[in-house]
A and B are shown apart, each in its own frame.
Chain A
Amino acid sequence: MEFAELIKTPRVDGVVLHRPFMPTVEGTLCLTGHHLILSSRQDSAEELWLLHANIDSIEKRFVGSLGRIVVKCKDLRIIQLDIPGMEECLNIASSVEALSTLDSVSLMYPFFYRPMFEVIEDGWNSFLPQDAFKDLESITDEWRLSEVNKDFSVCSSYPPLVAVPKHIDDDTLKKVATFRHGGRFPVLSYYHKKNGMVMMRAGQPLTGTNGRRCKEDEKLINATLRAGKRGYIIDTRTINVAQQAKARGGGFESEGNYPQWRRIHKAIERSNILQESLIKLVEACNDQSHSMDRWLSKLEASNWQTHIKEILTTACLAAQCIDRSGASVLVHGTEGTDSTLQVTSLAQIILDPTCRTIKGFQGLVEREWLQAGHPFQQRCAQSAYSNSKPRQEAPVFLHFLDCVWQTLRQFPCSFEFNEAFLVLLFEHAYASQFGTFLGNSAAERLSLAEKTVSLWSWVNRPQELERLTNPLYEANSLVIWPSVAPQSLLLWEGVFLRWNRSSRCLDEAYDEMVHIIEYNKELQNKVNSLRRQLHEDQVEFCF
């Protein structure tokens, strides 16, 4: 077994663990193929089980013969292990370093994990595209499910089944695919039942410097327009960035070739800039010694909140085009796998009440992120602490979750799930025992259903759902427009300050809120049952 070679010292006694807001624990440290375990071997004391995959970086220091390892996790937690003995410490550090940076997907924990719970509903089958399409079919016959990509030959990052306008045949799709970045031809992302308007997404058109055009592409997207109506193309890049893309063969839809479409450019940054932003933000949050001025200026310099505002604004714009202007929308950036998905998925949160339920949100993540080919494996390989040079890492999905959290804050009664659910998705996107976020596309995920357990299988059980349900939820069928004023957008404390400040008082407030609502329900039941009983008494005394 390959793991055994990497584990030089499998066990060390007398290790002291320091964690934020928890008492220190002294116990035995064990390394397994996938976990770092610290146990005090007492029944009452909590154990630490840390997935190697969750470790972003480690630092080692020596104080005399005492070794100290600082473990920085992808969920932004920092823990410290005091290990007696220099050699043990070095061994542990190098083993952890090796185990946490394994490249091979097949060695990942999800392939070894066996569920200890009863699977009520297999998450791998919960959100199949054909099921989602059935729902659409019952409302409109303007769309069809195409199998053109069934062997992933037309677009490697698309799923086998995609929804396209009914009158566009597969041959046309193949031609359009050659004109769009990564073969990502325009596909249906969302159908607005209220007025039949649609949102599509794609990769950038490959117009290049000489203004190449593709009649089929024009035909495809024009097929989604009602007679005499104009649509909107939302390019998530600034006009300058889009212009520059031409030199590399990319580009944007010109007015001349797409006269029925109005193009709007927004300014969502590219992924490498977002990663830098995350690193700066986390650094600012972790330095407790800052003065107020320094904190505010570092927060500003991280630009994290600026990105949040830009993404939410763009999503609001897309939603407004559809709901207010009654126009169809095509969204793309460069590849169509990052900012595009942020915009299309957030617009659906705004427009579609189903996406604000627990199941609906899972479906949204499945449709607009996993099936749509967001490269999770690449984007979430490293988090804010990694020392190695970032390659394709970017907190694109975290940005999306943050925007959902902002909306949840503004509409606290309109979401069926609570903040804990969003935090859970953040954690599992970066490190998980489940296979859901493995791989970069549907193609890479083909075999996972047999070999791993789906996160949704675990989440969709009563005991988990209860923890993730928002007690304030009351179905709200309306469109919800979040405010994007700087005053309305807050730092997501539940993620960024989670390990820096005690959340005891806030947790107590949450519990109190749950208690108030539960007590009300309980009383309601009591009153109703008493009323029934009185009614029965009445019958009993009749003679």
Chain B
Amino acid sequence: MEHIRLPKVENVRLLDKVSPGRSRVGILYLTATHSIFVESDTGLRSETWVLHSLVCSVEKQTTTSSGCPLLVRCKNFQVLLFSIPREPDCHDVYLSLQRLSHPDAKTTVLYCFSYKPNIVEEERRQDWAFMDLKANYSRMGLPNSLWKLSSINQHYKVSSSYPADLFVPESATPPVVVGSSKFRSRGRFPALSYYSKENHAAICRSSQPLSGFSARCMEDEQMLEAILRSNPRSDFMYVVDTRPKLNAIANRAAGKGYEIEDNYSNIKFQFMGIENIHVMRNSQQKVLELCELRSPSMSDFLEGLESSGWLKHIKAILDAGIFISKAIAEEGVSVLVHCSDGWDRTAQVCSVACVLLDQFYRTLKGLMVLIEKDWVSFGHKFSHRCDHLAGDPKEVSPIIDQFLECVWQLMEQFPCAFEFNERFLITIHSHIYSCQFGNFIGNSQRERRELRVGERTHSLWRYLWTNCADFINPLYRPDHSQTQGLLRPSTAPYCFKFWKGLYNRFDRGMHPRQSVEDYLRAIQEETQQLEEQLASHKQVQLLLVIILQIVSHEDKKLFSGSVRGFLIFINRRSASWRRNRVGVFPGRLPPLKRALMCGLWVATLLGSTLLRTTSEVSSAAAARAHPKLQTTARSSSLRTPNKQPTPSAPMAATRSPASQT
């Protein structure tokens, strides 16, 4: 709170990048967690909330006659340009935001430690239990006779950035593991990432070996031997170094490097040529500059995209993932993947390979598990890479962004193969940076344990799962041929698209004005309700036939011979039965009458359904007759299960022209 030098500024203008005429005037509030811009001159009272932890940079631009411009860039690629009337106010906001968005190295000031949604403690704790990596490993069929759960890193002694629970080959003894870890950067010894039940091939990951020019390590060689032996059908394994060869050679001079093929039995060594975090950071920076251009020409855009190199890097990562997935699924050969420290490129490549290999990782739950497994638990340094705290800018890099983009590129090629939609990826992306949830705090499992994240914060995974209706891809069908087995994407350059859904997320004019996905989702909801109606209609119909055959002539008079009369009759009857607590029918009744009574009971339950559905169907039919009403009909007249209509309403047809004329 002490960082807020000025809690409220009036007459602030929020400038529109595309059409300056559409700027808005309002009040800017600074709170402990958010900047809030409240538009004052409209009756609508529109608000723009920006989380401090999402602010990437604040820039004060030269004062003009109309005010002092303040440019706020966010990690979710929102860019806001405020104009503040008085320069001193602007400076105060600038200083405040800078401090608030990049807190000093004290992790506990992060938003997740103060974020308190209305959830009881018991539930909060259960939410963390929702993500269960052990269940994921047992889904793969582990442990088994080939792979065992090792407790060697239980206290993070062998490798401080590794998780406590790791799978290693059955034949790898503790001395071998420890020995191997001493021969690897940061102690990150080869451990299992993915295991294929079908053919026993496995993806293992590690950091680079400390081989230098000639060093070798018996235990490390034994470790690889053990991995090879854990795949009984294969007589060799791949060792994939995801770096460009030159980088790997340069590392040898520093006593690190890569496996010397002669020292290891039956390995095939392969470089992948994925660039390092610095190259990736600069590349994304260029993409962001491109997105900030005001009305660029087509040539500006394509040239900028080319010179950023971004899609080239995405392609390199996907190509590496494809290589590994094919080795596993088609050759049945195990792969050891590493880069330098084994927490950036290695995480990317292993997780991309998993998405390609296993349809589980293409489900909502699966992708969460995958990120938890290959990124969170294996110590991707979220805190450094995502710039959660004021730290070394050279440590920041969009490594996880690239993984999410690889998944998106795959979704574009295989529209039916993924259970989730683009919104899911973007929401995950946002929360990786927002610090609202505890999942991505710190740089390793050990740090999160020390911070007691599980006790003090909330879990994103459970939150996403609760809201999964927003994230379902309507085209996904688990039994679709496209959904099964290994994905074989094309990586011809023209298959890669610019992900405007992420990078131009807030430039609403650029996106399709009608969403096919939302349309299909509305249709599917309606279909589900129709199915329910149909089922209950059929039951009622059947029941009526039975009952009307049994009921005597006199009884018919009681409900005046019509279905509706009959329903009203049994409704009344059942009320009296309920009053008398006739839960079980008296055994004294003759069997025929008893059967009838049973029928009546069921009909009582269904009767109300029938009365309700008939009126609903007619209202739905009425809505269909007036196409203009359809949007509202879909979301209101039919019961929409606990879901608010999203602000970007599906059929909201035409907004404003984005034509830059």
Contacts and interface: CB of A to CB of B under 8 A. Distances in A.
The answer to whether A and B assemble together is yes
A5 to B, nearest CB: 44
B492 A500 contact: yes
B661 A300 contact: no
In the complex, which of the residues A288, A300, A306, A324 has the most CB atoms of chain B within 10 Å of its own CB atom?
Answer: A300
B501 to A, nearest CB: 10
Give the bracket for the number of chain A residues in contact with chain B: 35 or more
B583 interface: no
Contact of A409 (B512, B610, B617): B512
Contacts of A320: 657, 659, 661
Given A517-B523, A520-B523, A512 B416 contact: yes
Interface string B502-522: 011001011111101001100
B545 to A, nearest CB: 8
Contacts of A300: 298-299, 302-303, 306
Contacts of A487: 291, 301, 498, 500, 503-504, 507, 510
Contact of B537 (A476, A485, A530): A530
A299 B493 CA distance: 11
A497 interface: yes
A305 B302 contact: yes
B129 interface: no
A516 B524 CA distance: 7
Interface residues of B, number: 83
A202 B66 CA distance: 45
A509 B474 CA distance: 10
Given A320-B657, A485-B658, A543-B561, A508 B500 contact: no
Contact of B516 (A290, A413, A481, A482): A413
Contacts, number: 222
B653 A478 contact: yes
Contact of A296 (B297, B302, B561): B302
Contacts of B540: 534
B605 interface: no
B519 to A, nearest CB: 6
Interface stretch (B23-31, B103-111, B527-535): B527-535
A311 to B, nearest CB: 12
B296 A475 contact: no
Given A484-B659, A541-B562, A527 B530 contact: yes
B541 interface: yes
Given A292-B311, A505-B416, A520-B526, A306 B658 contact: no
In the complex, which of the residues A483, A490, A491, A543 has the most CB atoms of chain B within 10 Å of its own CB atom?
Answer: A483
Contacts of B617: 527-528, 531
A297 B306 contact: yes
Interface string A58-97: 0000000000000000000000000000000000000000
Contacts of A297: 302-303, 306
A38 B444 CA distance: 64
Contacts of B651: 413, 474
A501 B416 contact: no
Nearest to A490: B497
A497 B482 CA distance: 21
Contact of A516 (B520, B548, B561): B520
B563 A501 contact: no
A111 B118 CA distance: 77
B252 interface: no
B661 to A, nearest CB: 4
A538 B661 CA distance: 64
A542 interface: yes
A486 B534 contact: no
A49 interface: no
A502 B495 CA distance: 11
A489 interface: yes
Interface in B82-133: none
A316 interface: yes
A410 interface: yes
B657 A508 contact: no
Contacts of A305: 298, 302
A119 interface: no
B580 interface: no
B658 A483 contact: yes
In the complex, which of the residues B315, B490, B492, B538 has the most CB atoms of chain A within 10 Å of its own CB atom?
Answer: B492
Contacts of A480: 513, 653-654
Interface of B: 291, 295-303, 305-306, 309, 311-312, 315, 413-417, 474-475, 477, 480-482, 490, 492-498, 500, 503-504, 507, 509-514, 516, 519-520, 523-524, 526-527, 530-531, 533-534, 537-538, 540-541, 544, 548, 556, 561-564, 610, 614, 617, 621, 624, 627, 630, 651, 653-654, 656-661
Given A476-B653, A516-B527, 9 more contacts: A290-B492, A296-B306, A316-B657, A482-B658, A501-B490, A505-B482, A506-B415, A513-B516, A528-B621
Give the 5 A-B residue pairs with the shortest CB-CB distance, closest first: A481-B657, A316-B659, A486-B301, A295-B493, A509-B415
25 contacts: A290-B493, A292-B493, A299-B494, A303-B299, A313-B659, A316-B661, A320-B657, A411-B514, A413-B514, A414-B653, A476-B654, A487-B498, A488-B500, A488-B510, A501-B495, A505-B416, A506-B415, A508-B416, A508-B480, A512-B415, A527-B617, A530-B534, A533-B541, A538-B563, A542-B561
